[in-house]
Amino acid sequence: MFDVAVDLRRASPTFGRHVAVELSAENKKMLWIPPGFAHGLLVISEQADFLYKTTDYWYADHERTLLWNDPALAIRWPLTEAPILNARDAAGTALAAAEAYR
C-alpha cells in the first residue's frame, strides 16, 4: 500500500505538503494521520487488506475529496498505468479550492 497524508491546516507552515510511505506486511510500518490531514492510498500489490482506526465516527456528509493528481500536491504516485478510480476520487477538488481545516 502506498499511503499519503496531506496537511490541510491553513495556518500550518506545511499546508499543502504531504508525506508518503509504503506499508506492507513485510516492513510492518504504520502511519498516524492527525486531524487536519487528508488521507489517500494506492494499492500497489495484487490485493491488500487495510485496517485503520479513527478518532471519531465517519459521517458521509462531512467527507471531502482532494483531487488525487493535483499538480499543487506534487505527489509522486508509484503508477505503472492509469489508476482505477471510483467516481468520488475522479471528481476530487483541487487544493486551491478545497476546504481547509481550522
Which candidate, 102, 101, 1, 99, places its Cα nearest to that of 51?
A: 1
How much is the pLDDT for 59?
87
% of residues, the chain, pLDDT over 90: 76
The strands making up 18-22's β-sheet, listed across from edge to edge, are: 18-22, 2-7, 37-42
- Give this prediction's pTM: 0.91
Task: Please state, in angstroms and rounded to a whole number, the distance separating the CA atoms of residues 67 and 85.
Answer: 11
Q: pLDDT class for 87, splitting at 50, 70, 90?
A: very high
pLDDT digits (tens, 9 = 90+) for 17-66: 999 999 999 999 999 999 999 999 999 998 998 888 888 888 888 889 99
Please report the domains of the chain, with CATH numbers, ordered by start residue: 1-102 (2.60.120.10)
How much is the pLDDT for 6?
97
